Each structure stands twice: as C-alpha cells, then as structure tokens.
Structure 1
Amino acid sequence: MNDEPAELTEEPRGCLFALSQPPLMLFLAFVGTLIFLTGLHDLYRW
C-alpha cells in the first residue's frame, strides 16, 4: 500500500530549514532593508 518513493516518506522540511538557507536570508535582509529605508524616508523627508 505504501508505494511512495523513500524521498517522499521522509519528514517534510519546515520553515526553519528554508530560513537557514543563506541566499534566502540575504534576499529577505535586502528586502527588509529597502522597506525600512522607505519607511524612514516617509517619516523624515530630508
């Protein structure tokens, strides 16, 4: 009855595994920095 390949029967990797990937963290840090800078620019228009 269990005809699935061995890879699919492993536990699924969760969100913490995805967040441990350096490219994703660099991308999220870049996007977060842009959002922070635009928010700061809206608050204090130099």
Structure 2
Amino acid sequence: MLDTTQSDTAAPPEERRGCLFALSQPPLMIFLAVIGCLLLMASLHDLLLL
C-alpha cells in the first residue's frame, strides 16, 4: 500500500509571483528602457525638428 501522508520534509508550496516580480527582472527592464528611449527620441524629433 502506498504511503500518501505528507512528510515534514516536503518542499513548501511555490509562492505566486505577480506582475511586479516580472517587471523587476533586468532583461525586461533593459528592453523597456530601450523602447522608452526610442519613443522619447521620436517624440522630441517630431516636436523640435519638424
């Protein structure tokens, strides 16, 4: 017969990680910073040079 009782050494359940955890990842922040800089440069170009 299989032992289906949980032992004391069982791993704790995984924590739920939400959107703020995803935004704290460095590759995503670098990507968002590059996109933001490109949008800023395009908007300044339109406002000041055209």
TM over 0.5: yes
SS in 2 for 1:38: helix
In the TM superposition, structure 1's runs of 4+ consecutive aligned residues that sit over 4 Å from their partners are: none
Larger Rg: 2
CA RMSD, aligned part only? 1.8
Provide Cα deviations, 1:1-46, integer angstroms capped at 9, x if missing partner. xxxxx8xx63421111001100000000000000000000000017
Q: Which runs of 5+ in 1 are unaligned?
A: 1-5
Aligned pair partner of 1:43 in 18, 22, 47: 47
Within 5 Å, give how 1:25-44 maps onto structure 2: 25-44=29-48
Q: Which runs of 5+ in 2 are unaligned?
A: 1-10
Q: Give the structure-2-normalised TM-score.
A: 0.67
Within 5 Å, give how 1:16-31 maps onto structure 2: 16-31=20-35
The count of corresponding residues between Structure 1 and Structure 2 is 39
Q: Sequence identity of aligned pairs in percent?
A: 64
